Structure 1
Amino acid sequence: MLPALLITADLSPELHERCLPAHVIPLGKPLLPARLRQVLATQLQARQALT
């Protein structure tokens, strides 16, 4: 399972604190396609390393 991705303009420390225990990755707007691909690839690699 991959963590949820939250695309938001709010990148405050409070948001990060709320996202961590929920396994949500906050990503700032505007989100470029290359950044989204990078995050997804990193998460997929981490998941594969656990299996």
Structure 2
Amino acid sequence: MKNLSNTDLEKSFIHPEHGASFQLREIIGTYAWHGDHHLAHITELKKRNNWD
């Protein structure tokens, strides 16, 4: 992803599940947020259960 240009990030595609058009930059942001969201759930569960 480090080598993607602004032009590359503006390219769009049709998401097969949603049937909607998304820019690559938007989908990268969404997946980054999604991963962080799941990590936060795991981190909080570990804290609650005193798991190391």
TM (norm. structure 1) is: 0.33
Higher RCO (Cα < 8 Å, 6 or more apart): 1
Of structures 1 and 2, the larger Rg is shown by 2
Structure in which a larger fraction of residues adopt strand: 1
